[in-house]
A and B are shown apart, each in its own frame.
Chain A
Amino acid sequence: MDLAVFLLAAAIAYAVPIVYAGLGGQISLTAGDLNIALEGEMLAGAFVAVLVTYILGSPWLGIAVAILVGGVLGLLFGVMIVTLKGDVFLVGITYNFLLGALTVLLLSIIFGVRGSFSSPQLTGIPIMPIGPLAHVPLLGPVLSGQTYVAWLVVPMVFAWGYVLRSTPLGLRLRALGDNADAVRSAGLDVARMRLGVQMICGMLCGLAGAQLALGTLTLFSSGMSAGRGFVALAIVILVGQRPWMLVLAALLFGIADGIGIKLQQADVPAQIPQMLPYVVTLLALCAVSARRWRAARRDKTSA
């Protein structure tokens, strides 16, 4: 029982930032752009959230500014790949590098520290009270410790699922990722749509970063996104356009991470369990790719 509670709680803690970044990635991929800058945008969001919360004392302002900055960064990324037609991978790699270096530089200039920053003045995102639900066995202990931002995942995923399936906007996004010329010939501004998508993707990454830095822990450390953006990207490739599958996959990788932490406590060499989420992601990627590959080879000329 305790183990189950621990694993689920750890899974949620691991999954929430990944789901937000993944939503951004999913929107971006639906519109046809595989965005590898999730990692850097998330890191920037974490830094901004910590910075603003520390200075202004309110995690809510921290989150708001992180979302804002994320949106600006996303838009900038969009300008580079859409307006200036840069290669999405090359720009993405460099952008991650830039944001990584920039956070370290600003950490050093503003707080005078290298590596990581934490302070008692830094308040985390408040935990949402869940009333009588807290007494339900298993679910109670798992759900009672979650922040408002973690709970926000549920309406967000509902909303995105609805937008994707049932609104003109969702239809246009799906058409954009499928054949941009179809959208262009309908007289819609493809470039503006892609820019908007990148901006929203950046905002979601900002939120993901805020939860990462102010959710379970309250600190910023350099490179703290630690590949979560890449894991989110891999998950997006795995689940395609299904929002709830994104949540489910993120939770599964969260459980793998939780098992890793438990194994570490059980005297297994620390690195092996730490690998677990990445290994699971890679294996899942192979399995899904293999299935799609076979299907594609069945119905397409051998390309």
Chain B
Amino acid sequence: MQFDAMAPVPVARRHVLVTFAMEAVTTFAIIAFLGAVAVAVMGADPLAAAAAALRQTLAGQYEVAGLIALSLPLMIVGFAAAASFKGGFYNLGLEGQLILGAAIGSIVGAHVGPFWSPLHIAMVLVAGGIAGGIVAWALSWLRVRFGVDEVVSTLLSNYIVILFAIYLATYPFRDPTRFNGAMHRIAPSARMSTLVEGTELTWGLAIVVAIAAVLYWLLHRSKLGEDWTLMGRSPSVARNCGIDARRFGMLIMTSSGFLAGLAGAFMVSATQHRYFANLGLGLGFDGILIAMIARYRILAVSFWALAYSWMLLAADGIEQEIGIPSEFAQVVIAIVILGVAVRAGLVSWIVAQVRHLSKPAAPLPATPPAPPPAEES
């Protein structure tokens, strides 16, 4: 086997933005196509559905502002998922961490202060982040100390943490003027001020942009990000290169939990203004899906959070105008993400089948190793 003798094959490296744009357009086209098929199967006109979708989401500045407002917490929780998955940890407890962050943020917003508004908002966000961070830290500690597999422990933690948050809203911090399970409204100084009048879009947009920029630098450009990625690729190599894999692993999990908690507190400060029992349910898993389809790249997460929000709103619009239940959008998205998750295997399987058909006598070669996921660089 003369690997050594093989001449280096010159590979043309496209600019990352071009690569990403092609990938995004293709994926989105597949989603749109599957969505159209789903609508047609359910007996409606795909063109009418598309028109309804566009009317509901992109008709004017109010719709666009609403779309962006919806996507902001999804972006943060998507960052949280991307951070942990990129570092090789499956933090599936984002849902609970987000909700606890919302509850704690809501308490700080309502019962502490009022202060100078930017300070108060920062306190709400940081308190929520710390709450989520503590949960993730504790689970990562169990992993490091006792070897408790984080996949199962984080999944179970969701139920415990969410019930605890609901308990907080139902008993100690309940707003008696509201029906069961809602906290007091946060002080005006803890609320983000509106950016576009008459919509839910707030100055929180600037905060999310700043978070994205910082995370992009930290995870994709800096030395920290390089070690973070190495942890995700091989913890034992990281250890042999001098990284303290246990502490670094705890850092990865805790940061991810912090971001998830921050996302919850952000929802409270920006739009909801209080925590109540159903707030944030499902958002944690939405974030995981967004991170997966973006393949753990921060800028791609931003894009896909926006696209995901658009799809949710579009599905709502289609439901209102045409009467197709909006969940069809989630089904389509899940199918596409499954496609993304098995993409490499699917491609090599198809190649093998084609080769098999074109050369029936020859046996199948061993499947080549899956191509590594592309990285933003």
Seen from chain A, the residues whose Cβ lies within 8 Å of a Cβ on chain B are 34, 36, 80, 83-87, 89-91, 93-95, 97-98, 101-102, 104-105, 108-109, 226-227, 230-231, 233-234, 237, 269-272, 274-275, 278-279, 281-282, 285-286, 289-290, 292-293, 296, 303
Contacts and interface: CB of A to CB of B under 8 A. Distances in A.
Given A85-B344, A282-B157, A101 B90 contact: no
Interface in B148-165: 148-149, 151-153, 155-160, 163-164
B102 to A, nearest CB: 16
Contact of A86 (B153, B330, B341): B341
B100 to A, nearest CB: 13
B338 A98 contact: yes
B331 A36 contact: no
B327 A101 contact: yes
Contacts of A272: 163, 167
Contacts of B159: 226-227, 275, 278
Interface string B115-156: 000000000000000000000000000100111110111011
Contact of B155 (A36, A80, A98, A296): A36
B337 A94 contact: yes
21 contacts: A36-B151, A83-B345, A84-B349, A91-B341, A93-B292, A94-B292, A97-B330, A98-B331, A101-B327, A101-B331, A109-B325, A234-B156, A269-B167, A269-B170, A270-B170, A271-B164, A278-B156, A282-B156, A282-B157, A285-B149, A290-B146
A231 B158 CA distance: 12
B367 interface: yes
B95 to A, nearest CB: 11
A70 B17 CA distance: 42
A94 to B, nearest CB: 5
Interface in B185-242: 236
A48 B342 CA distance: 27
Contact of B160 (A84, A102, A278, A296): A278
Contacts of B153: 282, 285-286
B138 to A, nearest CB: 10
B370 to A, nearest CB: 6
B170 A271 contact: yes
Main SS at interface, chain A: helix
Contacts of A93: 92, 285, 288-289, 292
Contact of A289 (B147, B166, B285): B147
A108 B327 contact: yes
A233 B92 CA distance: 14
Contact of A105 (B158, B160, B288, B328): B328
A90 B345 CA distance: 14
A275 B152 contact: no
B145 to A, nearest CB: 8
A271 B166 CA distance: 7
B335 interface: yes
Nearest to A99: B334
Contacts of A279: 160
B274 to A, nearest CB: 18
Contacts, number: 131
A303 B236 contact: yes
A94 B334 contact: yes
Interface string B161-182: 0011011001100000000000
Interface in B284-337: 285, 288-289, 292, 325, 327-328, 330-331, 334-335, 337
B156 A281 contact: yes
A191 to B, nearest CB: 11
Given A233-B152, A286-B148, A275 B338 contact: no
A275 B158 CA distance: 10
Contact of A80 (B289, B327, B338): B338
A286 B155 CA distance: 14
Given A97-B334, A98-B331, A105 B325 contact: yes
Contacts of B167: 269, 271-272
Nearest to B369: A85
A170 to B, nearest CB: 25
Given A36-B155, A84-B349, A98-B334, A286 B146 contact: yes
A109 B90 CA distance: 34
A85 B343 CA distance: 9
B42 interface: yes
Contacts of B345: 83-86
Contact of A34 (B151, B236, B285, B337): B151
Nearest to B171: A269
Contact of B370 (A36, A85, A95, A97): A85
A38 to B, nearest CB: 11
A105 B331 CA distance: 8
Given A90-B292, A282-B160, A293-B146, A237 B152 contact: yes
A95 B341 CA distance: 11
Nearest to A227: B159
B346 interface: yes
A290 B149 CA distance: 11
A105 B338 CA distance: 18
A87 B232 CA distance: 14
Contacts of B151: 34, 36, 89
Contacts of A274: 163
What 3 A-B pairs are tightest by C-beta distance, nearest first?
A84-B345, A98-B334, A293-B147
A285 B147 contact: no
Nearest to A34: B151
B136 to A, nearest CB: 14
B338 A91 contact: yes
Contact of A275 (B160, B335, B344, B370): B160
B249 to A, nearest CB: 13
B331 A234 contact: no
A278 B154 CA distance: 11
Given A84-B349, A105-B328, A293-B146, A98 B152 contact: no
